[in-house]
Amino acid sequence: MKRFFCQCGQEVFFENKYCSNCTQSLGFDVKSLNLITIEPVDNSLFVDLDGRHFRLCGNELDFDVCNWLVPKESAQRLCFACQFNRTIPNQKVVDVNPPINYFRWYRLEDAKKRAIYTLLSIGINISNGWHDPESGLLFDFIESEFSGDVEATKVNTGYARGIVTINSLEADDVARIQAKTHLQERQRTILGHFRHELAHYLWDKHLFKLPMSRYFSDFFGEEKFEYRESLDLYYENGPPKNWPENYISAYASAHPSEDWAETFNHYLLIFECLDTAQRIGMSNTSPQGLSAEDLIDAWRELAVKLNQVNRSIGLSDAYPFVITGQIEVKLNYVASVISEFRDAQMKK
Ligand SMILES: [Zn+2]
Ligand SMILES: [Zn+2]
Ligand SMILES: [Zn+2]
């Protein structure tokens, strides 16, 4: 991710709404993919240093959860990223202190926006399902309901027909770590969920149409292979013993389309982390324009460094995965599909 600076020179974060140094308002401009300093003009309007006018996102005005800006000329009340929401965690539950659903939604928005930022910075444009019912994307953030300690209604994080559902309990650290431990996963993050589900969405609505898609089965196996049965078997028997040789995660071994989603998820992670590392001076290699082989080499080198630093802090590894030759071949394929899609979108 880019580095962002307030006009006072202070470095600021993607999620910031104010500069911690000079208290000036900040907002994210999706057009320039930049966090910019804004000045209020009146009750609803802000202006940036270039004289462009913006409004705050409706989800910021109503719920305090969004720092993305809406251009003054837009007919939309919500920002680009918030327009992808179909269901948000119930914000009417006000008798809970602290307001749990507010924090859940806040964390989901942060991860969602990071994932969208990566797609846009790679050159992949996506549309929302309100504007484009045929091939657009929408998010449902819904949590499982409990009756006492028993999960009465179970919400599965997943993708179906243009809708990504995220169980908003994933935004609770305890619930997420419990799931991670139960499923014996090496890592489980909210951002990883978004990248994984975006992979399913992109394949289902866009990527399968590309010429490159005919090679999918050479790398991952038959996409149409019995999905439900495969997943049931996986949850019953676990992954094959030698999964680390062929799959980036145990779950990737459950089905070809899960392997695709996990590999795509890792491709976005690698791209985003290398980009950030290069911009902050931790790595000499920018991922933009790099071949997939060089990208993975640079990542292997950086991931070891990140793990060493994390271990020195007393944290678990930042990247607890091993990219074998078999997995590298699949990542190469993901990179080729992305580049073909980007080229196709540019020609439109
Ligand atoms: Zn400042
Ligand atoms: Zn917004
Ligand atoms: Zn999946």
pLDDT in tens, 49-102: 999 999 999 999 999 999 999 999 999 999 999 999 999 988 876 667 668 889
Tokens of 335: 């990179």
For residues 53 and 41, give the distance between their C-alpha atoms in angstroms, rounded to a whole number: 9
The ligand that comes nearest to the alpha carbon of residue 262 is 3
Averaged pLDDT, 248-272: 97
Q: What is the pLDDT of residue 147?
A: 74
Count, residues in the chain: 348
Ligand 3 centroid – CA 253 distance (Å) = 11
Q: Which amino acid is at 173?
A: D
- Alpha carbon of 303 to those of 282, 306, 311: distances in Å? 11, 5, 12
Three-state DSSP class for residue 38: strand
DSSP state of 156: P
Tokens of 344: 């196709």
Residues with CB under 5 A from ligand 1 (ion): 6, 8, 10, 19, 21-22, 24
φ, ψ of residue 344 to 5 degrees: the values are: -65, -40
Asked if pLDDT for residue 124 goes beyond 80, the answer is: yes
Average pLDDT (14-42) is 97
> Which ligand has the nearest atom to the CA of 199?
3
Sequence-ordered strand ranges (E) for the chain: 4-5, 11-12, 25-29, 34-40, 46-48, 53-56, 69-71, 85-87, 138-142, 145-147, 150-153, 158-160, 163-167
- Judged against a pLDDT cut of 70, whether residue 219 lies above it is answered with yes
Q: Which of 32-46, 149-163, 286-300 has the lowest mean pLDDT?
A: 149-163
